Structure 1
């Protein structure tokens, strides 16, 4: 029976699956044997090239997706009028922008502009087993846009409605109470906002072999106490939340738009904002009053704020996009803006400054036993400034004569021993032949990672061009501050103890010592940083040479230097920035919960303050 006929049968059967989806729940997403290996997803995916696979397996994957929500307010930007008017214009439909738009739409007209497409119907976004696939898609329409920092670390920024919540490993955990207090947020409203988010996107993950072994190993080596399942940020070992449901389907910030008032919200997809416009006539300070954006066909559109002193433009384009857009609009360091022949609106030197990215380092552990497909579920929150997490993947190499090797496949560029520029057809063919002779157990295992808190080290962002589609140049200065490096060493020492623990022993080959595992990990092409001979014997050098991102970069529009505590841009009116670019440090072990919370929190604050001011005196 041909693949085409199978697709017809499966498509017909999909209706039955969709009908019963609301009544049934299973663990199929986490239990099924999925062809993915998560160490390479985290570390090596930036090197691979996207290869579309039209296969029966792909079809089966698609029919298990949730159907897209019926968002009557969501349209392609090509359908937008040449000129339009709104109470609020939000630039960036990401992790903060979606909940912010949903909240403000309850009382006012809101335009949400997203440069990417919708996440719905894309199995590479929705399915847990496809985590990492978007990072290998380098096409202009990919939900992920790759960039490489000046430090040589390969990274990605989101280009999709829902932002980073469409690409990440799904871990959901709140900021700690100390963080909330230091930032100055109202703790009661923060709690209410987290709960609003959690009703839609947060779930308790299943705990299986690998994650349970890491949890027990953390406890055995003294990362105490055990706090069980909780969203709260507490010292010790805990099971955190996830945005993947029990079926292994991702729920993103875009799902929070179901809270929106459909008559008050307009979402435009593939709408790239080129600049914010200001007016100054008769004003002491520049006043933001509109945006210029282009649709997928390159046609220019303008959106303006309606008359009213309380109407605002809110930038929620992320830690790269928000400072980049401010500078493209003439707000930022004067020297840099003038260098690109952009008209200066306001010299605001700290735009793009104090950029930070929490460095991640990991050790890969081949397993003698099959392991489940898992992303981040357990975390050890230590007193030494580091967080310990883990992920695992099942056997990749399909059996039979057509072994494709999944994400190991040299066909898509993943050659650990061949530099990217030397990946000729002959080199790929040779690698495939060599890999075909390997036993399937060579593709089985997982990794334990550490991420440092903070960090203290900071860098900067600079424009590369006037094109908003181009990545800015960014430097994070990983481990510039000695305290950051020491935190990494502390974390790696804890990982070494976990690997040697009794609780984890069944997932480690007896003959592979920790130094051997470190050497193995050093051979993975995780970044563009030159290796040093002493990296296998010095944890300090290992941290520097194998540094990776865990996509928690932040800064560039920080509170106190670019925006005030109400997230209003200093020196101009009717303009705010609300997203992770305003953070001085990354909240909790994963920032996505807090970024979504911030969108809701600030939406509530803006509504409350505005409605109160509109009451008769």
Structure 2
């Protein structure tokens, strides 16, 4: 007989850990099962950020699903790593914590008609999540000046600026001033424009994951099952009633099943469960539960390319971890381009807003470690990320076997606007490398196009398209919206057309696929005009935590979980 819980949460990443913890610790003390396909990650729990990265990206790592994309430009199959085990991708990412533009959240709220997703509530959630340590090193306090009032104190996730910054960070800020980029004293206050530096979820040398932050000391009514891959969500009469593991066992949910597998695995599990485009379900012999056309569509991600310079080495000793300066910038050349003018008016309106960046630059990146340099030289590199991409990709099934990786095609830079952004962003980054502070110490360039022309920046050997990578910011594949023609979940994270099933993770971020714009324009003509949003100016870790908090709030309110149950009713279950 299947064991029964009030709620079953599938996936122990940022969103899933928050939801499971919040539901279990509510006054009602509901019984919660958190199911994770990967392991407990206990061996890696106390590694530093750098050490964890080395373990996670080693071939055959138990921490990484190690996905690859379908071939992109020049046939590259791009790394699409996703975290596996407790903590999900918070256990293998670069630990960066940036919250993006307040405009993103406000636009999300306008798009779905729910102020829960606006900046005011998102910032409240962030303050609940964060335990901010205002520990900028003294040598940089004139440039980086965060206001503690804009950040959370006492939350579950420790955030710090780390103890030691490379001396070339001074040069980064100097170069930004010399080329007119400007300095942002706090990129995490909702206004990201300018060169700055974000916090990291590392404190006193130890990485903070969603598991260490939210599952430590779990209450007795929270059961955590690891190495437990879910094969499908069980349903009866168009309602989710539980899950079946690939290993055979079944677990029932009295109230709801919440999927938090992320932008790749959540659509995969929905499809395996018979929820998705009917033609795809038929192709793999999966019985249809709900024909939902947008499942696995609308994949959005930030792609980037790299460049660098070999410079005369400074006096820094080797540091295992140092924060990466990063900045977000607007590009008049993009906003004045033919590619921009061809976008729908609603998209143009959004992209013209003053806090919406066109591109991002992050420095001190690790992508030229194989370059040979003299003893008195070092490589200084940076990456150029294209913000607000209009290209849309897909996540589909390779087979009905849950153990087989899905087919992932982000379709990077297939939209002309994205190529224009990539070219102009790279041109600006190369201009940054030619600031006087760098010129005086530059020995040679690394991976630069042969000249400043569009064609050279885009398509030569050392060009944007040939060095293409993913920033692992996948989102949008179970998109939030108003109805099944445009979306998969409503603003309460509920699957549209099915009961007792929600999805709450980065897959729900609302995106506008180019092939439904006409439909969206039509339905918006029947209600007040709303500019269209791309949740696309941010790194995704902080957003995933915010989604978990908002989802937990909505679930608790709907089920009245702020009411205590009779003492002694809940018991700890073991699997």
TM-score (norm. length: structure 2):
0.74
1:440-455 alignment to 2 at 5 Å?
444-455=378-389
Residues matched between the structures, number? 464
Describe the superposition over 1:210-260 as per-residue Cα deviations: whole angstroms up to 9, x where unpaired.
Answer: 33322322232112243246454421122211112242x211111222477
Tell me, in whole angstroms, the C-alpha distance in 2 between the residues paired with 1:606 and 1:499: 49
**CA distance in structure 1 between the aligned counterparts of 2:495 and 2:322, rounded to whole angstroms:** 37
Could you say if the C-alpha distance between residues 219 and 380 of structure 1 is closer, same or farther in structure 2, counting changes exceeding 3 Å?
farther
Give 2:80's aligned residue: 155
Name the structure 1 match of 2:554.
Answer: 605
Structure 2 CA distance for partners of 1:144 and 1:462, relative to 1, 3 Å = closer
In the alignment, structure 1 residue 590 sits paired with structure 2 residue 539: yes
1:380 aligns with: 327
Partner of 1:210: 168
Name the structure 2 match of 1:289.
241
Change (3 A) 1:471 1:507: farther
Counterpart contact for 1:173–1:233, Cα < 8 Å: no
Cα distance in structure 1, aligned partners of 2:42 and 2:174:
37
In 1, Cα distance between the equivalents of 2:279 and 2:31?
37
Q: Alignment partner of 2:312: what SS? A: coil
8 Å Cα contact 1:348-1:562 kept in structure 2: yes
CA distance, structure 2, for counterparts of residue 144 and residue 210 of structure 1: 35
Q: What residue is the counterpart of 1:135 in the other structure?
A: 57
Distance, in Å, in 2 between the alignment partners of 1:124 and 1:614 is 37
TM-score (ref. length: structure 1): 0.70
Cα RMSD, aligned residues only: 2.9
Shift of the 535–133 alpha-carbon distance from structure 1 to 2, 3 Å rule, reads farther
Find out whether 1:269 has 2:201 as its counterpart. no
Aligned match of 1:577: 503
Work out whether residues 145 and 159 of structure 1, in 8 Å CA contact, stay in contact via their aligned partners in 2. no
Q: Which secondary structure does the structure 1 equivalent of 2:249 belong to?
A: strand
Structure 1: gaps of 5 or more residues: 1-81, 281-285, 397-406, 409-415, 417-434, 521-533
The offset of 1:165, in angstroms, is 1.3
1:176 and 1:234 in contact (8 A); partners too: yes
Q: Kindly provide the CA deviation profile for residues 284-330 of structure 1, in whole angstroms up to 9, marking residues without a partner as x.
A: xx000010014xxxx42111012xxxx11011101110000000000
The change in CA–CA distance for 1:264 and 1:493 in structure 2 (over 3 A counts) is same
C-alpha deviation, 1:494, in angstroms: 1.9
Alignment of structure 1 residues 250-399 onto 2, 5 Å: 250-258=207-215, 261-280=218-237, 286-294=238-246, 299-306=247-254, 311-370=255-314, 373=319, 374=321, 377-384=324-331, 385-392=358-365
Output one character per residue of 1:349-407: Cα deviation in whole Å (capped at 9) or x when no partner: 1101111221111113334315554565322110121011112569x9xxxxxxxxxx8
Q: 1:323 to 1:392 in 2, by over 3 A?
A: closer
Q: C-alpha separation between the residues in 2 aligned to 1:129 and 1:168?
A: 12
Pick closer, same or farther for the CA change 1:239–1:100 going to 2, 3 Å: same
Change (3 A) 1:335 1:499: same
Quote how far apart the aligned CAs of 1:126 are.
3.6
- Counterparts of 1:25-40 in structure 2 under 5 Å? none
Deviation at 1:102, TM superposition (A): 1.0
Q: What is the CA-CA distance between 1:603 and the residue it aligns to?
A: 0.8
Give the match for residue 197 of structure 1.
Answer: 129
Residues 176 and 519 (structure 1), Cα distance of their counterparts in 2 relative to 1, 3 Å cut: closer
Q: Aligned partners of 2:216, 2:552: CA distance in 1, in Å?
A: 12
Per the alignment, residue 521 of structure 2 pairs with none
Q: What is the CA distance between 1:177 and its match in structure 2?
A: 1.5
Shift of 1:201: 3.0
The 2-side partners of 1:609 and 1:570 are apart by 17
Q: Any idea what the Cα deviations from partners look like across 1:147-204, whole Å, max 9, x if unmatched?
A: 2333232221221211111111111011321111111115443222212221223212
SS in 2 for 1:201: strand
Q: 2-side partners of 1:275 and 1:441: how far apart?
A: 57
Q: Which residue of 2 aligns with 1:475?
A: 409
Greater mean deviation of Cα atoms: 500-509 or 249-258 = 500-509
The aligned counterpart of 1:166 is 91
Q: Which has the higher helix share?
A: 1
The SS at the match of 2:9 is strand
